[in-house]
Amino acid sequence: MQFDNIIFQKANQVAVIRFNRPKAFNAVNVELFGDIIKALEICVDDRDVKVIVLTGEGKAFCAGGDVALFDSSPDVSETIRQLTKSLHFAIIGIRRTSKPVIAMINGTAAGAGVSIAAACDLRICASSAKFKQAYTSIGLIPDGAWTLMVPLLIGFSKASELVYLDPVFDAQEALQMGLVNKVVDDSELEKTTMHIALKLASGPIVSYSIVKENFNNAFFGLLERQLELERRGMIWVGKTVDAKEGISAFVEKRKPSFKGQ
């Protein structure tokens, strides 16, 4: 199957889904999510695929939602409604597949890019990668189960710090806080990730699938509830004066002036 927004490759029982909007730093839109969801469905149905790798083309893993799309929208809240619906289908797809999913974080991960990586089973990171929560700095709120998955990975206190202060942090800091599993030199990223993927593909895949199902059973009710709560919050906050100001300021590359409205 041909895709417009991803590069989809299969070899040696490993499928690679590569986000392919490099000029936009792989910022997500409905069309990109549609391709990701289709590719995940193909992987689920293909018995020859044992492991799935998600990564980005170019310099970024995923820079989050396409803020330029929000800025040009006549109804930001409605645009958010449609985008979060697609994002949340993708997050559910990553978790529901019984096959291990590895995030190969090749560069910047921000906003929904962090949510996607956090939903994966393992995260292998290039040493040059940078991370940012990003949502609150433009007057929005985290989605894609960010407020569930990230605290589970790094703890409530550190997750709160990321939400309220929104620092940019590097790969080593991400490793220290538990957000990623391994950091390697950029030149070694693909080699290391594929070595891990091939090791998993040749391992006890039924055992892995049951373990992933058990992980999911422990928190899947929370996941679905949190996705819905986040979506409601994003739709509501998309109607605020601060969100419009934050989005405009981001596009215009200036500091936002929030009014608390």
State the pLDDT confidence band at 252, using cuts at 50, 70 and 90: confident
Quote the pLDDT of residue 143. Answer: 95
The secondary structure of 63-116 as a DSSP string is --B-HHHHHH-S-HHHHHHHHHHHHHHHHHHHHHSSS-EEEEE-SEEETHHHHH
State mean pLDDT over 188-197: 98
pLDDT value at residue 58: 96
CA angle 238, 244, 247 (to 5 degrees): 100
Question: Residue 194, Cα to own-chain centre: how many angstroms?
Answer: 20
- At 242 the pLDDT is 92
User: Rounded to 5 degrees, what are φ and ψ at 215?
Assistant: -55, -50
Token pair belonging to 10: 């299969």
Residues in contact with 96: Cβ distance below 8 Å, sequence separation at least 6, in sequence order = 44, 216
- Give the domains, in start order, of the chain with CATH numbers: 6-188 (3.90.226.10)
Q: Is the pLDDT of residue 1 over 80?
A: no
Q: What percent of the chain has pLDDT over 70?
A: 100
What pLDDT score was predicted for residue 183?
A: 98
What is the reported pLDDT for 76?
A: 85
Give the model's confidence band at 199: pLDDT under 50 very low, under 70 low, under 90 confident, else very high.
very high
At CA 189, angle to CA 110 and CA 39, rounded to 5?
65
- The predicted pLDDT at position 186 comes to 98
Using alpha carbons, select from 54, 159, 176 the residue that is nearest to residue 106. 54
Global pTM value: 0.94
Instruction: Grade residue 56 by pLDDT with cuts at 50, 70 and 90.
Output: very high
Secondary structure class of 130 (helix, strand, coil)? strand
User: Please, what sign has the CA dihedral across residues 82, 84, 86, 89?
Assistant: negative
pLDDT at 60 over 90: yes
List 100's β-bridge partners, or say none: none
| Each residue's pLDDT tens digit, 62-111 | 999 888 888 888 888 888 889 999 999 999 999 999 999 999 999 999 99
Residue 128 CB neighbours (<10 A):
15
The arithmetic mean of pLDDT across residues 1-16, rounded, is: 94
State how far the Cα of 139 lies from the Cα of 243, in Å rounded to an integer: 4
Which residues, listed in sequence order, are joined to residue 191 by a DSSP beta bridge?
none
Average pLDDT over every residue of 148-155: 97
d(CA 43, CA 97): 8
Question: CB of 40 within 8 A of CB of 220?
Answer: no
Cβ(182)–Cβ(192) below 8 Å: yes
